[in-house]
Amino acid sequence: MQHQVTIFHNPRCSKSRTTLKIVEELGIKPIIIEYLKNPPSCEEIKEIINKMGVSPRDIMRTNEPVYLEKNLNNQNLSNEELIHAINESPILLERPIVLTIERAVIGRPPESILKIL
């Protein structure tokens, strides 16, 4: 049985390309979302967080300049504010993220996706 699989993908990222290759080598044709061109909605970000069982900070790229520019290291920010920041600046989303109907995982290292596929 084939699962519906979605990958939030950045084709310029080697980890993202490797992750996509692993998915395709398993015979899965994923839905590919180039999240920098098509940012996930706040609802989609919440779905990712819920499927991973993590907080918004756990899926954020804290080394991006916009992270500091927007003062996102402020621990008083709510989850809603962090989710909104990811939606506004999708470069903040850790990559790649692979989702199935029930679970999600960050493909770092790329092989980590095998635990949900």
What is the topology classification, in CATH, of domain 6-115?
Answer: Glutaredoxin (3.40.30)
pLDDT of residue 117: 92
Residue 2 has pLDDT above 60, yes or no: no
pLDDT of residue 100: 95
Q: Can you tell me the mean pLDDT for 28-52?
A: 97
Please give the mean pLDDT across all residues of the chain. 95
Active-site option among 13, 26, 116, 117:
13
68-109 pLDDT, tens digit each: 999 999 999 999 999 999 999 999 999 999 999 999 999 999
pLDDT of residue 1: 43
- Spell out the long-range contacts of 56-60 with Cβ–Cβ below 8 A and sequence spacing 24 or more: 56/82, 56/83, 56/86, 57/82, 59/86, 59/93, 59/94, 59/97, 59/106, 60/86, 60/92, 60/93, 60/94
Q: pTM for the complete prediction?
A: 0.93
pLDDT of residue 65: 97
Residue 42 a catalytic site member: no
Residue 3 has pLDDT above 90, yes or no: no
Q: Can you tell me the mean pLDDT for 35-53?
A: 97
